[in-house]
Amino acid sequence: MSADDAARRSLAGPQSGSASSHAPIGRPRSVLDARPEHSADSPLSVHAMTVAYHRKPVLWDVDYDAPPAALIAIVGPNGAGKSTFIKACMDLVPRASGRVEFWGLPWRKARQRVGYVPQRESVDWDFPVSALDVVCMGRYRRIGWFRPVGKADRAAAIGCLERVGMAELAHRQISQLSGGQQQRVFLARALAQDSDLYFMDEPFAGVDAATERAIVTVLRELKAQGRSVICVHHDLQTVAEYFDDVLMLNMRVVAAGPVAQVFTRENLHKTYGGRLTLLVEASEAVARAGQQP
């Protein structure tokens, strides 16, 4: 693979390399009987997953089931393993142990139904492509690598840029875009993948207020379509406003479930320890959310 091809794959994200349909994937009855501890309806089931870097555990014995058609936040302190959790689920980093399933199937059999928005800082934005080119990369699983992008796929990519308010800058080189505009382009690329489950690694980090509102609007549209979104999120004050469920992580799962039930002061203290200022702000957000009708 040439350097240019590798860069294109980096921008395009994990792909299946072949076209796919969105026919529902069911879990075989034999698998259901053998693994009753996880939900057959869950788009993501993680069982006893441990990840280690240089023999030092980053995640330890993680168990988690994601609810279908939900917006899910992953929260925890720096170094808690939030980004590693996402990458390990998609086989981007190796797991020391454990099992990950998507609708009851391993990653290699379900990856065509999963979209990914990595951290903006992890991408080489100097690569000479336009915003439209980046979004078209989200269509590669349908058209195949090294094939020309047809009119229908280009029109679909333009439509995704319109959804995030970036159609007017479709032909602007990505290095000439602001941070918020780059994040919108990556969100449009994920939409072009037309996935049933999306992983997003800090999509709100470093963006302006207008971009944040645009991202929230798109997330809610995806949920309304029956899709699930799992976001690494750092702003505790907006968890209750933006998300339905939360996974509170600090190497191990501290708590997981509906925000109204598990995003509590007690669990925040267990997750973040002595970060008192942060916890006070988050606790106030929790209290405000509880007072809303």
pLDDT at 27 over 70: no
Q: What is the pLDDT of residue 145?
A: 57
Q: What is the pLDDT of residue 281?
A: 57
Segment 207-236 shows an average pLDDT of 94
Q: What are the residue boundaries of the structural domains of the chain, listed by start?
A: 3-18+32-291
pLDDT at 123 over 60: yes
- Mean pLDDT (the chain) is 82
- Binned at pLDDT 50, 70 and 90, residue 288 comes out as low
Q: What is the pLDDT of residue 144?
A: 58
- Binned at pLDDT 50, 70 and 90, residue 80 comes out as very high
Q: What is the pLDDT of residue 11?
A: 56
Q: What is the pLDDT of residue 38?
A: 65
pLDDT at 2 over 60: no
Q: What is the pLDDT of residue 292?
A: 57
Question: What CATH homologous superfamily does 3-18+32-291 map to?
Answer: P-loop containing nucleotide triphosphate hydrolases (3.40.50.300)
pLDDT at 79 over 80: yes
Q: What is the pLDDT of residue 202?
A: 93
Residue 225's φ and ψ, nearest 5 degrees, are -85, 5
Could you tell me where the DSSP H helices lie in the chain?
3-12, 29-34, 82-89, 107-110, 131-137, 140-143, 151-163, 179-193, 209-224, 239-242, 259-262, 265-272, 276-291
pLDDT at 154 over 90: no
Q: What is the pLDDT of residue 19?
A: 36
pTM score, two decimals?
0.78
Beta bridge partners of 252: 250
Q: What is the pLDDT of residue 56?
A: 85
